[in-house]
Amino acid sequence: MGFAILALLAAQLPSVFPPSLPDARVPVWLLLAALSGGLAALISLRPRAPRPLVLGLGWVLMIAAVLQAFLVGDLVALFATWLVVPAVSRLAGQLRPRPRKALVAAHVLAAACWVGIALTVTAMALVAMTTTDIETGVAAYALMTTFDITLLPWANFATILTGLALGVTTGWGLVRYYWVAVKLTIAVSILFMAFGFLHDALERAHQQAMRLAADGGTTAELTADADVAFWGFGTSLLGLVAAMLLSLYKPGGRTRHGRRLPPARRPARELRVTVADRHESALGTIELTLRALGGEPLPGWEPGAHIDLVLPSGRVRQYSLCGDPAQTGTYRIAVLEEPDGRGGSTEIHGLRTGMNIGIRGPRNNFPLVDAPAYLFVAGGIGITPFLPMIERLDRRGADWRLVYRGRSLPTMAFAATLRQRYPRRVTLLPADTHARPDLEALLAQAPADTAVYCCGPEELLRAAEIVAAQHPGVALHTERFAASNRSENATNAPFEAELRRSGVVVHIPADRTLLSAIQEVDPTVDLSCEDGVCGSCATRVLAGTPDHRDDVLRAADRDRTDIIYPCVSRARGERIVLDV
Ligand code: FES
């Protein structure tokens, strides 16, 4: 909304410098005002508006602001991009590793161009300062001026804008770390110096050199503007080199603002709820409706989220929420009884309406991503996280398909309702009458960039992972509620963990988990499954490389170095530094 007001004001006021396309200036400002006002209204009136629409509008706004700045040549728009780029980046949310790497690469490339151009211009300024031949001086200033009005603005704005976007879409922030804040100050200072006096001093030095050449003068007659141009570009270059070194060595740690940030992990609060309804939704499966004891609203959640059930026996089990996120007074879960399991499901089946239990969460390790199409592959009770996802996607008119495998139709919870509501999108494959799903064919037929979601027994998940590995265009999302033991043959090496907030270094021998060492220092540590499947022990990594052995991270995210699930994961190398 602030940007809309700025754009409206800019359309009324005269331009600071004559723009190169004067006729386009006011119409583009009005377009920018309409776009940013529309975006602000959309976000406040319909907070659940489809993300592609919000981000699409954001992108159009950003591109229009950059066009106004560079093509129309409006100085105010040049600085207004500083508002719009971080705002749109924030809308995009925290970046996943791949786009983050792409943004880092773009930033490094832009910065390298900026340094290269600054070096060239400074070298020419040196030539202009030291030559005794006035014609050489004129040529050097002419080249400097060309760089100054063509490549240099693009390079420095690309560097600053990608830097701003990186700051707001990663944990680096803009003022959380000294090295980021100093880099930002250097970049802004150079920009102010350039627009404040450097550009004008260079122009004057160039004009003066041309006059001297025409009048038969010498370089000794050049005035202070030549000195200003040399020292100005030289100082900018030194600043850029300092910024590069700061990026490489990241000295100084966190600022006061960074230290005041909420802790990386807050212990999950346990809520007491009552079983408001209990009924059998399929053979062997019961559906429970849970309501807060005082009837107050329960924490909000998104499709894919799960909660921990803290049972009267003290057992803690995780179950996906399968109701409607809009119903804030209740949670719904469905539980299959597994008589040969560890006792949790049998205990839940023994719960009756009116009994009280504890819950923690919700937590979402299985979020619904934006994709052109969706394929859901459910095995047995693994159908539950897909119910709210399907509901949401169908409301949006998205392209989705569900393949649901179970032992037999009577044991497949929600199968009848799903088939009745979405006959063309749902394929039921009960094992007593149908062959296994042909995952290879399903993935081969899926439209490009389909998001494939799979939840169910381990063998189905493993099969999906193997087939998805053969289809690089497919993004597979899995959720497990039992450990896959993917690292059962991995050897445990001892290592050291530095718990940075506590200032403690602990030695982790081969036969001890990292989580147990953290618990000794921070007993409030949040944990639940201790099997690497629930995600509750997620801990921020500040340095070192995690050896991910959990089942929470997707295959594409297993090279992440900013997070670890210490109940099962360890460190590669001798030391890891954690935000604990
Ligand atoms: S406690 Fe569940 S992932 Fe670590």
- Residue 295 Cα to ligand 1 midpoint, Å, equals 30
pLDDT of residue 528: 77
Is beta strand 475-479 parallel, antiparallel or unpaired with respect to 495-499?
unpaired
567 lines ligand 1 (CB under 6 A): yes
387 dihedral zone (left: phi>0; alpha: psi -120 to 50; beta): alpha
- Residue 144 Cα to ligand 1 midpoint, Å, equals 59
Q: What residue type is 415 in one-letter code?
A: A
The atom of ligand 1 lying closest to the CA of 567 is 4
pLDDT of residue 223: 76
Is beta strand 316-320 parallel, antiparallel or unpaired with respect to 271-282?
unpaired
| Tokens standing for residue 96 | 């996943």
The atom of ligand 1 lying closest to the CA of 528 is 1
pLDDT of residue 555: 80
pLDDT of residue 21: 85
At residue 361, φ and ψ (nearest 5 deg) are 110, -155
Q: For each successive 10 residues of the chain (580 residues), what is the average pLDDT?
A: 87 81 89 91 75 84 87 83 83 66 90 93 88 87 88 87 85 82 92 86 87 82 81 92 89 71 56 93 94 89 93 88 92 92 88 92 89 94 95 92 95 94 94 92 89 92 90 86 75 89 82 89 76 87 92 85 93 90
553 lines ligand 1 (CB under 6 A): no
| Tokens standing for residue 398 | 């998205």
pLDDT of residue 264: 45
CB 283 within 8 A of CB 295: no
Helix (H) or strand (E) holding 54: helix 51-70
pLDDT of residue 404: 96
361 lines ligand 1 (CB under 6 A): no
The atom of ligand 1 lying closest to the CA of 515 is 4
pLDDT of residue 23: 87
- Residue 515 Cα to ligand 1 midpoint, Å, equals 9
- For the chain, how many helices (H) and strands (E)? 17, 16
530 lines ligand 1 (CB under 6 A): yes
- Residue 313 Cα to ligand 1 midpoint, Å, equals 20
514 lines ligand 1 (CB under 6 A): no
Is beta strand 330-336 parallel, antiparallel or unpaired with respect to 285-292?
antiparallel
The atom of ligand 1 lying closest to the CA of 530 is 1
